[in-house]
């Protein structure tokens, strides 16, 4: 299969920013049910800054693109999603090093390390009704295909609906958190869907 170059990663992040912008109101709505109703606006602010940073200082490698995006999210988001997504992208970028192109398998390995870093940062596990419920299945499926990863993330996100939250503000709600999709899992699906679309656009 084709190698993924820096342009691919910039397009993926830009596509994610566009998806977050489109879906910001839905993310905030999900967050108003079990969180503090700022997930959409926080992520939109963060990814808008990511797009600007990538344009202002074009990164020299896939790893640098993810590193720049991650650092920007940590500094601009202002909510928990900043350090969480920031850590995901920074660690994934760090794993990719300064290679000019990477394979899907390289990306799968690097993202697995990125998700592991998110686990270490937030202390959550699969089934706790967090972004990990979309991301962990996605990175397990990524070696198969981008489409398999997106499907796994989508199933994982919907799968958070019946779960009881064990992390973050939603965990204070106990059983009342049941019946709502986790906003972090929903936004993680946007990231993985954008990856699939970027691949399909490049493959045409």
Partner 1 sequence: MSEPTGSGPVGVVLVSHSRDVADAVARLAVALGGGTGGRLVAAAGGAGDGGIGTSSELIVEAARRVDRGSGVVVVADLGSAVLTVRALVADEADDPAGGDDGRTGSNGDSTLPPGARLVDAPFLEGAVAAVVSAGAGAPLADVVRAAEDAYTYRKL
Binding positions for partner 1, rule: CB under 8 A: 38, 42, 59-61, 63-64, 67-68, 71, 74-75, 78-84, 86-87, 90, 93-94, 98, 117, 121-122, 168-169
- Which positions ≥6 away from 26 have C-beta within 8 Å? 40, 186
By beta-carbon proximity to partner 1, the closer residue of 159 and 184 is 184
Least Å distance between CB 87 and partner 1?
Answer: 5
How near is the Cβ of 177 to partner 1 at its closest, in Å?
15
Q: Which is nearer to partner 1, 51 or 87 (CB)?
A: 87
Nearer to partner 1, 6 or 16 (CB): 6
Q: How far is residue 93's CA from residue 136's CA, in Å, rounded to a whole number?
A: 17
Q: Which is nearer to partner 1, 152 or 191 (CB)?
A: 191
Q: In the bound complex, what is the minimum distance in angstroms from residue 74's beta carbon to partner 1? A: 5
Cβ 6 to partner 1 shortest distance, Å = 11
* Shortest CB 69 distance to partner 1, Å: 11
Is the Cβ of residue 128 or residue 196 nearer to partner 1 in the bound state?
128
């Amino acid at each position: 299969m084709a190698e993924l170059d820096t342009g691919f990663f910039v397009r993926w992040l830009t596509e994610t920013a566009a998806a977050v912008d489109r879906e910001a109101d839905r993310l905030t709505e999900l967050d108003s049910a079990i969180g503090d109703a700022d997930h959409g606006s926080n992520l939109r602010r963060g990814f808008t800054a990511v797009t600007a940073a990538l344009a202002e200082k074009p990164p020299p490698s896939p790893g640098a693109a993810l590193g720049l995006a991650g650092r920007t999210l940590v500094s601009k988001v202002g909510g928990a999603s900043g350090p969480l997504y920031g850590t995901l992208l920074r660690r994934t970028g760090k794993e990719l090093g300064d290679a000019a192109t990477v394979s899907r398998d390289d990306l799968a390995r690097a993202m697995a390390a990125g998700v592991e870093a998110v686990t270490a940062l937030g202390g959550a596990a699969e089934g706790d009704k967090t972004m990990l419920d979309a991301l962990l299945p996605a990175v397990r499926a990524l070696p198969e295909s981008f489409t398999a990863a997106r499907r796994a993330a989508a199933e994982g996100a919907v799968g958070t609906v019946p779960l009881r939250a064990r992390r973050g503000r939603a965990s204070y709600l106990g059983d009342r958190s049941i019946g709502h999709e986790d906003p972090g899992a929903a936004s993680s699906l946007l990231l993985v869907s954008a990856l699939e679309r970027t691949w399909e656009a490049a493959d045409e």
